[in-house]
Amino acid sequence: MALAIWLIYLTLLIRAGITGHLKTYFAWNAWLQFGLCLLIFTVRGTEVERSIDQHFGDWPVTMLIKNTVFLVWFGLHADLLWRVGATTYWKGLTRAVFVIGAVLIVGSVSLYSTQPVDNREDARDLVVALREIILLIPAFTTLLPGTVSLYRAETIQQMRWRLGLAALCYGVLYPVLAVSNIIVGAVVLTGIDIAEPIKQALSTYLSIGVVLLVILFLPYRHTRIIYLLWLWIRYLRLRHIERRVYRLSGFDAKQTIVTPWESVWSISKLEMATYAVAINILDYYPLIKDKKVRLGDLAVLDRPFSLDDEFSRLIDELLRIRL
Amino acid sequence: MGRDLQSVIRAINDLEFDFADFDIERFVRHVAHRRSRTILLNAVMLDEGITGLCASGPIHDYIFYKRDTPALHQTHIILHEIGHIVLNHAPTSLDFGDLTVDAIVRQLRNLSRLTLTPDIEWEAEQFAFQVQARCAANRQRRMPVTSIGAILPYTTPLMLDR
């Protein structure tokens, strides 16, 4: 699985390089984040760590690299969110955490390296737990609030989904992983032997995060089928409301301007069909206002509009009609 | 007179408007310029069942559209009424003199009941949809990756739109 994901990553990266998309700091920041996540995924587990460390005289180089990569990844993402103004809260604290975290991570790995190779497991769990305690701070002070803020502001649906997935990673997947690792560390200190089952469960869990990560970086055309499906569901729900509005208003259904069945694969035609239905509802809705119909707050749509970002918001509001 | 989609499409083409950067105010100004007449837009309260009205006076073209409806709907209504105007459906040479807006609306409402046929309404509706379809097609060609300008430097290198 890791090999396949690396191939996808390298293909996309080479394509970006060939087309001149790797010339700025912003480009490297975005691509590095993806690559660092993959690196963490690739060297996960004690077996992999040991096999790599053997080549370095059993010095825990893999652990050091992995922990540093975690810190750099979070730092790059925090920097992105600060630069775009997605969040400004706790900026000073978060920066301090990165600096102190770097010192603690290097220090803890150095201590860990002094342990005998055959008896490192417990020490390893403690180092990982320390790393998670450090990283949870920027995750909650910057990464999660910043990503959620972008998610709320975003109106292009395909990007909104990606930001939603990123928020899920920082708000649910990572905290669960981190807290589990911290529990494993705490268990080591108490001497109760339940660490192994937790670790095995986490290995599978990490794979879910990586699959989400790949989706985040896939070009829109590869997720087009999901987008079309989403548009279709909204269109059909809206058609249902339209029919009910017609029935209640006592008018015959108007002939639909665009026939959506002819445009199964066309996003723009499907959007037009949805638009036509939305206009019909808005035309006829006032006639049934007094028939105990509940409608969303359309007053939010007070900006000039032309099938752009507010279109999706209008449809959201119309879909709230309860008949 | 039957329903004539071709004349609607021809009328839109003849306007020679750049739909790559559409907004309703610019479109109204463009149509007014092409016709060498001003178009006066008025958001008014209208009876239920009526969303917009239009007329061509000696100097101005008048469009009255529903005030209490979302901006999307208002845009559509204005496009529909412009459709009537450019397709020459609108009642012409009306002199409203010193009439109030309410009085003009009342007069137009009575007139529209007599003059507007389903075919004429269909053509004006087609005009509005064809205009929006061109905007949608342009938007699809541009296919913005994000609506947040600040994150474009990060998302552009990822080539999510390719």
B108 phi-psi bin (left φ>0, alpha ψ -120 to 50, beta other): alpha
Q: How far is A213 from chain B (nearest CA, A)?
A: 13
Whether the predicted pLDDT of B85 surpasses 50: yes
The domain locations on chain A are 2-218, 225-318
Please tell me the distance in Å from B62's CA to the nearest CA on chain A. Answer: 20
Identify the top-confidence range among A136-140, A264-268, A319-323: A136-140
Q: Could you tell me if B130 lies within 8 Å of chain A, comparing CB atoms?
A: no
Task: Please answer yes or no on whether A84 and B150 come within 8 Å at the CB atom.
Answer: yes
Task: Name the residue among A217, A218, A309 with its Cβ closest to that of B147.
Answer: A309
Residue B129 has pLDDT above 60, yes or no: yes
Tell me the one-letter amino acid at A152.
Answer: R
Neighbours of B35 (CB within 10 A): 14
Q: Residues of B with CB below 8 A from A314's CB? A: 70, 72
> What does residue B128 show for φ and ψ, rounded to 5 degrees?
-60, -45
Comparing alpha-carbon positions, the chain A residue that sits nearest to B25 is: A304
Residue type, B162: R
pLDDT at A257 over 70: no
The answer on pLDDT for A142 being more than 90 is yes
Q: What does pTM read for this prediction?
A: 0.70
Please answer whether residues A241 and A321 qualify as being in contact, where contact means their C-beta atoms are separated by less than 8 angstroms: yes
The chain B residue lying nearest A153, using CA atoms, is B148
Res A43: pLDDT: 85
Q: Look at B157 and A12 and tell me if their CB atoms are within 8 Å.
A: no
- From A201-205, A243-247, A308-312, B75-79, the region with the lowest mean pLDDT: A308-312
In eight-state DSSP terms, residue A322 is B
* C-alpha span between B75 and B54 (Å, rounded): 14
